[in-house]
Structure 1
Amino acid sequence: MWPLFRIALRNVARNRRRTLITLAAVLVGVGAAVLTRAMMNGLQRAMVTSITASATGALQVHRAGYLDNVLSTPLTMDFAIDEAFLAKVRAVEGVKAVSPRIQFAGSLGANDESLFLAATAMDPTAESAVCPSRASTFVPGSRFDSPDGILLAETVASTLGTQQGGEAVFLAPDRDGTLNGELVHVTGATRSVMPDEPKTAVVPLALAQRLLRMEGRATELAVAVHRLEEAPQVAARLREALGPDYEVHTWDDILVQVKEGQARNDASMGLIAAVFLVLMLLGVANTMLMSALERTREIGTMMAVGLRRGKVMSLFVAEAVVLGATGGTLGALLGAGLSAWLNHRGIIFTAPTISVPFDIRPYVDVGYLVRIVLLATAGAAVFSLYPAWRASRLRPVQALAGR
């Protein structure tokens, strides 16, 4: 087999111009596929990091059955958040910080306008430890240190016509269905973190506990971990520590729409990479076909001295493998190099429906590079089968005559 590849290498190097053009096509195709994958990896990681660091946290703890009842009676799925319980959660290996929250619904009235909205109640100090980027979702000048302050989504503030410092009445039913109210002051506005966010507000945990008659209780614990990749392992340890009365979900369990969007993006990137590779491999097939047409006398000579048709076919496939492997390796290295440079530099991107920008750091793993090189090599071999078969079907007498 090695002598065959030695001959293939010699033949590939013999026609330098055609070889360079073919290698350039393979290099560009593989490099574009690698860079596209790296950009998507960076965008997905930036999106997940932004959302977990500014909104959801890496993990969330609820009473068992909470997510199944979140649209009906979420306040009845509350639990006590005394220091002993919080310390138990913090003691689990991998847990970095914990922030109690209450998710509830209510209506806000101001300037003769009333608007129904979804509210998140949180402790400002604990929240900053779990979601360190939470402050980046606040419009500049907003404050979240007032005991009766409320932060409104920009769309809500615009609809109600409220300004910072203005008063409003916040009404909400407690866990027993009794309607209660609190006078609040608008202390700022929040920007959207995810697309198509509903009308939302952020209030201090203590204010919500008074409003909902839930002193010392919460409906949710947001949990930060040291490394986001370890979230599933930390979630498993938390489930074991807390028992069957609680459920622990990772960010992708909660943000199902984000996970589904990533799956669609992965499928789209796979299709784009396939298009790049097919166009590149068509160039390899064309090169091998032209080579077979131009080397009829050489093929005839080899067959006249006893080289079997299978060996002729194998020789052309070997030449294609050399082109695919060499171009694929160079393309993978080029794509990885550009990805590393962009990772170091960073790309600031703001989606049309999201106010908080993403810091994209493109990256690609070694496994993907190996797979793309192997795919380019195997694809080159497959696309060379017809030219190789055509070359092996030549009759020695006609080939020697150049026909």
Structure 2
Amino acid sequence: MKDFLKVAVRNVGRNRRRSFITIVTIFLGVLVVSGIRGLLNGFQGEIRSSLTRKIHGDLQIHKKGYQDAVDNDPYKILIPDVAALEKEIQIPELIATAPRLRVFGLLNHQKSQKTTPVMIVGIDSKRELAVCPRLEQAVQAGTVLDSSQEIRSEAIEDDELTEAPPIGTTLSEDAPKAQGQNGIMLTPSLVRGMGAEIGDELVVLIQDKNNMQQAVVVHLVGVVDYAMPTAASKIAWMDFTTLRRAAGLTEGATELALRTQEGADVNEIRDRLTRALDPSLVVETWEELGGFFKDVMGLQNLVFSVILTIVFTIVISGIVNTSLMTVMERTREIGTLMALGYRRRQIMSLFLIEFAAIGVAGGIAGLTAATILLGLLGKKGIIFALPGQTTPTIIYPYATVFFLVSVLGLAIFAALLAGIVPAYRASRMRPVDALRAN
């Protein structure tokens, strides 16, 4: 058997030009497929990282009806006791939690006297950064809101908050003033539209739980750009406790964002928490929260499957062509081998081993080149910008070991598949006719 394999491998080098062309065909196919998959992995990895480490967290817990009611009446869908909920969901995979409060309001820029509707999100900066550590990378200008610097006791009393100035007018001297770092972060489109600059004074106007108008004076501390095409353009972030006080709340949150250990199965954790929690609460993964991007990644994977099929169809066609030529040129050799006692299955095996050896050579060469290329790009990164992005994104291509091994196996399988018909034809020759062939 050892000699049989040696003969088969040596036959690969008999027609070096044809073998080289076949190996190059497989090499290019493997390189193209691995390169495209690496780029997709980098792109999808950046989407996943942005959604989980900048925006949503790995999972979120809401009240049922959250998506429908948050704009109309956010106080109807509050999680009443966040502290009790956090105790209830203590599991080993959970690293950090961060409550958020979302209310709809108006934002007035004092210098330009421009007013615009916004979604106001209350966050505790320390806890938010524990769940979404890449939030700092999204800050285009200024700094991340620092909740520890908020003045909670004497900055704005509850009875003063009801004395909201009319929208579009300059604040009077006796209007409620922030005595500390009551900060707010805005999106780039809000900053451009209002002509605001870091340090400018703004007034946040909301309706509290009793439908009373409340005003909070804040200063612009940061500009946040998620660099995601579908990210909402009119969002303002301010301190969680400051916003909750203005809303007339002592406890409660719109949502609780969760961060899990790297590599944890968020779907399994979601199912486990759903079974353990009250039926009025809904647990959603980052994929469910970012439904558009889930669809985008699904479409990308579908397109990649089509490309994979096309590439290896071309590879197989090329191998079939050269394999048939090889069999035709070696007709007399096949007849000689049969005359020496080789069985038909041995003839077929001989050719299949040759084709498999070509597949191994081309596959290993392609994987080596792809690994080197993806390694270099993975370290340096590729600057990439989607339509609608204001800030380019750096993606880091990579391919998993499982995928690379699978591609190598696919290359060998393609070579064997392409060689079945030529090998079968060779094994079905009659020795006398083969020896007489010219």
TM-score bucket of the superposed structures, by smaller chain: 0.7 to 0.9
Q: Distance in 1 between matches of 2:227 and 2:256?
A: 19
Q: Distance in 1 between matches of 2:414 and 2:139?
A: 51
Aligned to 2:141, what secondary structure does the other structure show? coil
Q: Counterparts of 1:251-262 in structure 2 under 5 Å?
A: 251-262=286-297
* Equivalent in 324, 332, 336 of residue 359 of structure 2: 324
> What residue identity is the alignment partner of 2:54?
S
Give the deviation of 1:160 after TM superposition: 1.6
Name the residue aligned to 2:62. 62
Encode CA deviations 1:3-30: one digit per residue, 9 max, x unaligned: 7644422321333333233223212321
Name the residue aligned to 2:238. 203
Aligned to 1:203, what secondary structure does the other structure show? strand
Q: Does 1:13 align with 2:13?
A: yes
TM-aligned CA distance change 1:82 to 1:251, over 3 Å: closer
Aligned to 1:194, what secondary structure does the other structure show? coil
- Contact residue 106 and residue 173 of structure 1 kept, 8 A: yes
TM-aligned CA distance change 1:15 to 1:200, over 3 Å: same
- Contact residue 82 and residue 253 of structure 2 kept, 8 A: no
Aligned to 1:165, what secondary structure does the other structure show? coil
Give the deviation of 1:218 after TM superposition: 0.9
Name the residue aligned to 2:101. 102
> What residue identity is the alignment partner of 1:115?
T
Q: Counterparts of 1:3-402 in structure 2 under 5 Å?
A: 5-67=5-67, 69-70=69-70, 72-81=72-81, 83-89=83-89, 91-110=90-109, 111-142=112-143, 144-145=145-146, 147-175=181-209, 177-198=211-232, 199-303=234-338, 312-343=347-378, 345-352=379-386, 353-355=388-390, 358-392=393-427, 396=431, 399-402=434-437
Give the deviation of 1:177 after TM superposition: 5.0
- Contact residue 81 and residue 252 of structure 2 kept, 8 A: yes
Give the deviation of 1:101 after TM superposition: 0.4
Give the deviation of 1:59 after TM superposition: 1.5
What root-mean-square deviation, in Å, do the aligned CA atoms of Structure 1 and Structure 2 show? Answer: 3.0
TM-aligned CA distance change 1:104 to 1:351, over 3 Å: farther
- Contact residue 192 and residue 355 of structure 1 kept, 8 A: no
Give the deviation of 1:52 after TM superposition: 1.4
Give the deviation of 1:400 after TM superposition: 3.2
Larger displacement relative to structure 2 (175-184 or 135-144): 175-184
Aligned to 1:384, what secondary structure does the other structure show? helix
Q: Distance in 2 between matches of 1:72 and 1:82?
A: 22
Q: Distance in 2 between matches of 1:357 and 1:50?
A: 13
> What residue identity is the alignment partner of 2:10?
R
TM-aligned CA distance change 1:27 to 1:183, over 3 Å: same
Name the residue aligned to 2:177. none
- Contact residue 100 and residue 220 of structure 1 kept, 8 A: yes
Larger displacement relative to structure 2 (250-259 or 224-233): 224-233
Give the deviation of 1:329 after TM superposition: 3.6
In structure 2, stretches of 5+ residues that fail to align are 151-180
Q: Distance in 1 between matches of 2:352 and 2:382?
A: 45
Aligned to 2:140, what secondary structure does the other structure show? coil
Q: Distance in 1 between matches of 2:252 and 2:78?
A: 6
TM-aligned CA distance change 1:389 to 1:348, over 3 Å: closer
> What residue identity is the alignment partner of 1:8?
A
Give the deviation of 1:359 after TM superposition: 4.8
Q: Distance in 2 between matches of 1:176 and 1:292?
A: 87
What percentage of residue pairs aligned between the two structures are identical?
A: 32
TM-aligned CA distance change 1:72 to 1:302, over 3 Å: farther
TM-aligned CA distance change 1:241 to 1:183, over 3 Å: same
Larger displacement relative to structure 2 (310-319 or 206-215): 310-319
Larger displacement relative to structure 2 (139-148 or 154-163): 139-148
Q: Distance in 2 between matches of 1:67 and 1:284?
A: 55
- Contact residue 102 and residue 121 of structure 1 kept, 8 A: yes
Encode CA deviations 1:288-317: one digit per residue, 9 max, x unaligned: 122122212223334555656665444433
Give the deviation of 1:255 after TM superposition: 1.0
Aligned to 2:133, what secondary structure does the other structure show? coil
Q: Distance in 1 between matches of 2:57 and 2:393?
A: 17
Encode CA deviations 1:184-213: one digit per residue, 9 max, x unaligned: 333332113421222222121123213332
Alignment: residue pair count: 401
Q: Distance in 1 between matches of 2:201 and 2:370?
A: 55
In structure 1, stretches of 5+ residues that fail to align are none
> TM-score if structure 2 supplies the norm length?
0.80
Q: Distance in 1 between matches of 2:227 and 2:250?
A: 29
Give the deviation of 1:393 after TM superposition: 5.8
Encode CA deviations 1:50-97: one digit per residue, 9 max, x unaligned: 3311211112111234346446544311023464544444x3222211
Give the deviation of 1:103 after TM superposition: 2.1
- Contact residue 174 and residue 212 of structure 1 kept, 8 A: yes
TM-aligned CA distance change 1:224 to 1:206, over 3 Å: same
Q: Distance in 2 between matches of 1:45 and 1:386?
A: 42
